[in-house]
Amino acid sequence: MSGFGLAVLLVGLALLVVLGSWLVGTANRLDRLHVRTDAAWAALDAALARRAVVARAVAGTLDPRAGDRLRVLADRAERAPRREREPAENALSRELAGVDRQSIPLVLAAELVDAEHRVVIARRVHGDAVRDTLAQRRRRVVRWFKLAGTAPQPAYLEIAEPQPTDLPRPRPAARVVLLDATDRVLLFHGHDPADPGDSYWFTAGGGVEPGEDLRGAAVRELREETGVDLPPDALTGPIWRRRVAFSFEGRNYDGEEWFFLARLPEGAQVSTDGFTELEARTIAEHRWWTPEDLRETTDTVYPVQLADLLPNLPDETWSGAPRTVR
C-alpha cells in the first residue's frame, strides 16, 4: 500500500472513531433524557395521587351530593390508565375549582393549596423534560441511526390546573383583645400597602409561624407589637374565631383568626418599638377604644362585631369553646 493510501485509511479510521464517539455520546445523552423524563413523570404521578387523596378528604366536609361527586372523580383520576389520565385529571381539576375554600377547615384548605401547588410544579418539570427529550429525538442523526432504540416516545400531560398566584394562601393568625383597667380595647390603625386609602382598625396579633401553637403565637405577637410580655397562662381563650378572605400587598389570603383575651398589667405601657419594617410602614397609630367609641365611629373596625362584643367581655365566662364572629 502506498503512503498516500495509508494516509487516507488512517484519516478514514480517525473519522470513524470520531463519528462513533459522537454517536455514543449522543445516545448516552438521549438515554439520560429518557431517565429524566421517567423520573419527572414519577414525581408528577405522585403529586397527582396526593391531590386525589386530599380531594377525598375535602369531599368528606362537603354536602353529600357534592362530596360523593368529588370522591368519585378523585378515585377515577387516581386509577385511570395513562391514556385516560388527562380527561380524568381535568375533570377533577374542574370540580376542585368549584369548591368554596372558605367552607372547609383551614388546615384542609392549606393541604389542598399545597397539593395543587405541587401538581403545578411537577407538571412544569415534566413538561420541560418531555420537551428536551422530544427535541433530541427529532434530530436527523438520532432518527437515521435509531439512537432512541426501543424507548417509547414521551408525551406531555395536558391538564389544566390553577396557577399558584390565583389561589388564596391559607393564613392562620393569633390575635389578642387587650383590655386596660377601664375595659377599653387596644386597636391599631393600618392600611394595605397596595391600597393606602383603605384603612382600618384591628387588634394586636398576626400570623402563626410554622410549628408554633396559637397561644404561643399570641404571646409573641403581643410582645412584638405592644411591648407587653405576658405569660401564656395570662391569656384566656381562644374566645373567638373569625374566618375571612382578604388581600394584602396584592396577594389573596384565606385567613382564620383566633382571638385571646388579656388584661394590661398595672403600670405597663404600650410600646411599638418592636414593630417590623412592614408594620412601621403600614400602621399609623394606636389607641384605646370604649364600646361607645366603637358604636359611634364611621371607621372600619375588625372584627366588625367588636362594638357589640366588647361590653360583655369583662364579665363573660369563657366556656372553653371559641365563638364564631365576623
pLDDT in tens, 77-115: 999 998 899 999 999 999 998 888 878 888 888 889 889
Confidence at residue 210, expressed as pLDDT on a 0 to 100 scale? 85
- Say yes or no to pLDDT of 315 above 90: no
Q: How far is CA 326 from CA 107, 136, 158, 292, 313, in A?
A: 20, 58, 41, 19, 16
CATH topology classification for 171-324: Nucleoside Triphosphate Pyrophosphohydrolase (3.90.79)
DSSP state of 101: G
Instruction: Please indicate whether residue 221 or residue 132 has the higher confidence score (pLDDT).
Output: 221
Grid cell locating 128: 420541560
Mean pLDDT for the chain overall: 88
Instruction: Please tell me the pTM assigned to this model.
Output: 0.65
Q: At CB < 8 A and 24+ separation, what contacts does 35-39 make? A: 36/129, 36/132, 36/133, 37/126, 37/129, 37/130, 37/133, 37/154, 39/129
Confidence at residue 287, expressed as pLDDT on a 0 to 100 scale? 97
**Intervals of CATH 3.90.79.10 along the chain:** 171-324
Per-residue pLDDT tens for 136-154?
888 887 677 777 777 788 8
Sequence-separated (6 or more) residues with CB below 8 Å from residue 18:
none
CA angle 126, 131, 135 (to 5 degrees): 150
Q: How far is CA 268 from CA 32, 149, 174, 183, 233, in A?
A: 67, 78, 22, 15, 18
Confidence at residue 142, expressed as pLDDT on a 0 to 100 scale? 67
- Say yes or no to pLDDT of 292 above 70: yes
DSSP state of 290: -
DSSP state of 188: E
